[in-house]
Structure formats: structure tokens, C-alpha cells
Structure 1
């Protein structure tokens, strides 16, 4: 785990503080909102260039792992997130939508870091990444229209315009860059010169977007200082319940420890940058949706750190049970 991964929560929190501070200056508050989407588009181009979609076939080598994780991520989790939002967030519909957007998008990056920390099967966790990626891009707009439409009024045209702006364009750009790199150089050059440096650049542009967002919306945050406390309970319940479900499914399917750890983290970790980009582009008049997607990971990352340690403590039990 490198420096930015280890201190990601602290870095994001620092960016929030910088953004709120700059937001007290009228110049920054006025112009910051125009920088959010460009920063997110650059960041997501870096995310997408790392994902070789041709590797999607690898996710079918362990069919039980794949089917179980897809059922939890794309059937159970959306319904559970909607229900938690109804119980805890129905008085603040934008937070409900933001919470739901966070929870229905499986992680495509840092869950592998935590899988490695817990000595899980990183290769198996990686194999399902392209499939998770494709399905979340396809299904998130549908979840918003079907489930989110009962919470706030959603304009389908604005939603799909936002998807086009922050997903389709970066996907096309990243695919073009990857093809050009492979055509004029080779795979080794791509990995050494481009992919090895993307992680840091991705973190930089994500935090620049967060600074710009909080600078433009600092007034709203200062007027609603309890947002993090409001989100804390449903977020913790989500992770606790899904951890238990992941353990029960792993034992039912008789996964060995390494596979069980990968399964738990694949079904727990969430992917806020993609959801954040869609929220910013599709709901510019609902800034609290995006604020929920930034605050959520401040809770999530410490939880995933704790989960990794819990899994390590359970390792001996798995080894004794399935040796």
C-alpha cells in the first residue's frame, strides 16, 4: 500500500477543508464549479485506461464466485441501499439518492489493495473487475430511474447527458489512448510509462475535483454540518450486514480463506468516483447528492481497513475448517 492509498481518507478530508476554506473567497466560489467536470473527466480517463475489457472472460473461470458476487452487487445491494435510505434518509431525498448511488457501484480499484492486505486472492478479485465495471456503467442509470425516481424527480435526458459527458467520452478517450500506445509502442511501455503513473495522477485530479466542489458548495455544507452524522448509521449498517452476508455465502459455497477474503471485499468496497462524476453532471442543481458521495468514502475507508484486520484474524479458522 503506497502513501496515497494508506492516507486516502486523510487526503480527501484535507481537500474538503481546503475547498471549504477557498469557498469563503467569492472568486473561487464563483468559478470553481466550472472546473469540477473537467477534473473528473481527466481522472476517469485514467481509471478506464487501466481496465482491459478483453479480460472479462477471466471472470468465468470460477463461476460460483462470479455469480454470487454479481447477485450481491447488482440485485441485493440496490434493494438494500434503497431500503436503508427509506428508513434513515427519507427526510433528505438528495442524501438518499447520493447514498444509493454510492452503494450500487462496486469498487474497481482500492478493493484490490485491501484484498492484498488481508492476504486474499487478488488474482480472483481482479478477474471480476471488468465485469463489475461494465455492469455498473450499464445499470446505474437504470437504478436511478427505477429506484431513484421514487425519491426525487429525475430528468432522463439530463441523466444520460451526464453519463455521456463523464463516462462515454472518457471511455472512448481511454480506449483510443490505449490503442495508440499499443500500436506505436508495446504493452511493456504502456505499463511502465503510463499505467504505473496513473494512480498518483488519478488521486490528484480526484482531489482537485473535491476541492473545486467544496469551494463551490461551501455554503451548503456549512449550513448542513450534520451531513456526515446523518450518513454514518446507514453506511455502517450497510457494511456490517454485507460483511455478514459475504461470510455466510462464502461458507455455504465452501470458499477457502483467500477466495472468501476476495469475495468479502469485492462485495463490500464501493466506487464513488464514477458515481460522483454522474452526480455532478446529471444533478447540478442538487449538490447534496455529490456531497454524500464524497463524505461516504470518509467512512468507508476506515471500515475497509478494519474489515481487512478482522479477516486476517479469521484466517486460522478458515484454514482449520477447509484443510
Structure 2
């Protein structure tokens, strides 16, 4: 099924409104980070209080923020077009290659290159590399005018692989591969059920809510009214949820981050390198496969993002809340949020220089 010109024009108008609404996004995000760090530093016991509000290892405040953040975007997805994404096997295969072969291997390499003398931080970074993004990437993709339907499919695919392979990959990259290379070995104790619970909370719930909104809204009002009237009303809540999530994240770990600035700086270097290489590699790969700008952008952002919640939870559960592994997990979103916001602007700049005549990979076949 292909989009009509009217539908494409409508998408362009919606994207334009979002762009104007979010023109000061970096300011809001930096302010939210500062507020979170300040609250965590100035209010005694706030981090323990927030950290105690959880169920089965899942932070309820963060779950609430992610639900509010992701739901508006998933409500915009046209689920009747998912078949066009599933049919694009080259894009699906490329995403799996980037996320589950190249991504973990690259983070392993960067962790050892940048932190050879800091084994705890190094292990934490490797765990971050294993946790593929299933939530916040949807926001970055939407801000960069990526393909929402493709993002929904790729995120769902990552979720499935995360449940099945996370523990096995942790064992391989922390124990088996270092042993083969004569390097220090570590271990990782994580239950697939814990990963599955995180996937259900951070993706399953907002995905179900978005799908039901689309089905019920279109049945009641029709597609045109649903997209023209309902979606603009809920759209700003994605930004509110994002800012709330950032404040909670940084309030939880503000004391640790501010108290160890040099360690944070050392952990930040491989992370910045990782985000740049993964995003750039994904964008170049999409361009080489002659994907549209929208799908190329989606491929790049789903490759670059990481699931900070799973990485932090696993590091704390395995090594302790005050461990170096946990600090490395916490620094992940500290660096990822501004880095991927910057890449949103890079992507939008490239959008105007991207060949618009390129067919999709399915059309090329």
C-alpha cells in the first residue's frame, strides 16, 4: 500500500508543527538534566525514595514517564502499513546486523580501548552495548521525521531479540570472548524474565495503547479527523514525558554523577564515539541500500540508541547500586540524550540534501 499525495502532504504539515513546537528542545532537555541533577544533589534521600518505587525491578516513575513519552508517537503509527515494512527484508536484516552483531562488538572494542585500566566501568559499558533501545528511540526517530511504521517494526524486532539473546550475549562478551583474547573475564547474572518484563512495560503497554487509540479513533471519527484533531492534542505530551523521564533519571543518580566528574568524562568518551559510529554507519548503510530518507533515518537511530533502563537495572542487580558498573550505566543516558538530540539536527540537515527520487528497497526489487 502506498501513501496518497494528500496523506504525504498531511504528514508534512504535522511534521512542520512538531518542528516549531520543539524548536527549543535542546534547551528543555538541558534544563531537565540540570533540574534532575540538582534535585538528586540537594534533596537528601531523594534517590533512595525514587529508587524504592519499583515492581519486579522496574522503576515505576521511569515507566510512567516512558509511557507518557511514547504513547503519542505510537498513536500516530498507521498500523495498516506495517506490511510494507515487514516486506522490506533488506532493512530488517540490516537492522539485526547493526543491533546484534556490530553494536555489541563495537562497544566491547571501545570499552577495552578507552578503559583498559578500569574494569568496572568497562564491564558497565559492555552491558550498555548489549541493551538495544526499545523506547526513547521512537522519540528521536519522530523528531527527525523518520518512518514511524518502520520504527515500530524494528523496535518490536529488537525487543524479541533482547529477551532471547541478552543473557547469552552478556556471557559471550564478558566471559567467553575475553578468555579467547587473553583478557580479564567477568560474569553476568540476568534472568530472561526480567528482560521480558522490562520489554512489556516499556514497549508493550504504550504499543497496545497506541494501537487501540488508532483503531478506535479511526472507527469513531475517521482517519482524517483522528489525525487532524486528536493527534495534535496528544502530541505535546511526548515532550512532557521525555522531560519528566530525564528529570527522574538524573535525580536518581545526580549525587554519583556530580561526585565523580573525571570518571564520568572517561566513560563519556567511548559512549560519544559509539553513538557517532553507530548512527553514521546506519545512515550510510541505508543510503547505500537506496532506502528513502525516512527509513534510512529510522535505521540509523534504532542502531545508535540503547536501553538505559535495562542496562542500569542489570548492572545494579549484578554488581550493586554503588558499583562502577552501575555508574557506567547511569552515564549512558547522560551522554545519549544530548548526543542523539544533536544527531536529530544532523539528520534534519541531511534531509534537505537527501536524494528524494530514491525508491524504497522494496520498490528497487
TM-score by length of 2: 0.66
Question: Corresponding residue for 1:266?
Answer: 298
Query: Cα deviations across residues 62-110 of structure 1 (Å, max 9, x unaligned)?
Result: 6655554554345433433443344445541233323443579894343
Question: Corresponding residue for 1:95?
Answer: 125
Which residue, 22, 33, 47 being the options, matches 2:39?
22
Query: SS state of the match for residue 147, structure 1?
Result: helix
In 2, distance between residues paired with 1:178 and 1:310?
31
- Aligned-pair distance for 1:18? 0.5
Distance 1:140 1:11, change over 3 A: farther
Question: Corresponding residue for 1:148?
Answer: 170
In 1, distance between residues paired with 2:237 and 2:204?
20
Question: Corresponding residue for 1:119?
Answer: none
In 2, distance between residues paired with 1:61 and 1:243?
25
- Aligned-pair distance for 1:292? 0.9
- Aligned-pair distance for 1:17? 0.8
Q: Does 1:8 align with 2:44?
A: no
- Aligned-pair distance for 1:136? 1.8
Distance 1:36 1:188, change over 3 A: same
Question: Corresponding residue for 1:321?
Answer: none
Question: Corresponding residue for 1:46?
Answer: 72
- Aligned-pair distance for 1:283? 6.2
Distance 1:201 1:91, change over 3 A: same
Which residue, 235, 240, 247 being the options, matches 2:284?
247
In 2, distance between residues paired with 1:158 and 1:294?
24
Aligned residues: 304
Listed as ranges, the gaps of 5+ residues in structure 2 are 1-15, 54-60, 175-187, 359-365
Distance 1:237 1:95, change over 3 A: closer
Query: SS state of the match for residue 138, structure 1?
Result: helix
Question: Corresponding residue for 1:193?
Answer: 229
Query: SS state of the match for residue 109, structure 2?
Result: helix
The answer as to whether partners of 1:111 and 1:269 remain within 8 angstroms in 2 is yes
Listed as ranges, the gaps of 5+ residues in structure 1 are 117-121, 319-323
Which residue, 255, 259, 264 being the options, matches 1:223?
259
How large is the RMSD of aligned CA atoms in angstroms? Answer: 3.8
Distance 1:32 1:235, change over 3 A: same
Q: Does 1:301 align with 2:333?
A: no
Structure 1 window deviating more from structure 2 (19-28 vs 203-212): it is: 19-28
Higher relative contact order (CA 8 A, sep 6+): 1
The answer as to whether partners of 1:246 and 1:263 remain within 8 angstroms in 2 is no
Q: Does 1:206 align with 2:242?
A: yes
Which residue, 228, 232, 249 being the options, matches 2:269?
232
